[in-house]
Amino acid sequence: MKVTIDKTENKVARLLIRPDEDFDFHLPVKYLPSKAKEGSILNVNFEIDNKETETARVRIQGLINKLKDKNN
């Protein structure tokens, strides 16, 4: 996926999803490449982290179990 940095304000960048730029999202500037600026086009890649997903699932299940135990 490609995005255009539309603007930055208060250390947050507005990124437009290319090519149509009909959708946007905001991201703290600290996560952008150091030389990125308004008008820069960035490549963005997403991938599933199965290990982190499973760790989070186990943690949330543990919290759910604690709540269930409290109510019994």
Q: What is the pLDDT of residues 9-25, one digit of tens each?
A: 999 999 999 999 999 99
What residues does each domain of the chain span? 2-70
Q: What is the pTM of this model?
A: 0.76
Smallest Cα–Cα separation from 5: which of 24, 34, 30, 47?
Answer: 24
- Check residue 22 and give its pLDDT: 96
In what side-by-side order are the strands of the sheet with 41-43? 24-28, 12-17, 2-9, 41-43
Q: Is the pLDDT of residue 53 over 90?
A: yes
Supply the mean pLDDT for the chain.
Answer: 95
- Going by their DSSP bridges, the two strands 24-28 and 41-43 should be labelled as unpaired
CA 61 to chain centre: 23
Distance CA 26, CA 9 (A): 10
User: Average pLDDT of 19-35?
Assistant: 96
**Taking 90 as the threshold, does the pLDDT of residue 30 lie above it?**
yes
pLDDT computed for residue 70 by the predictor: 83
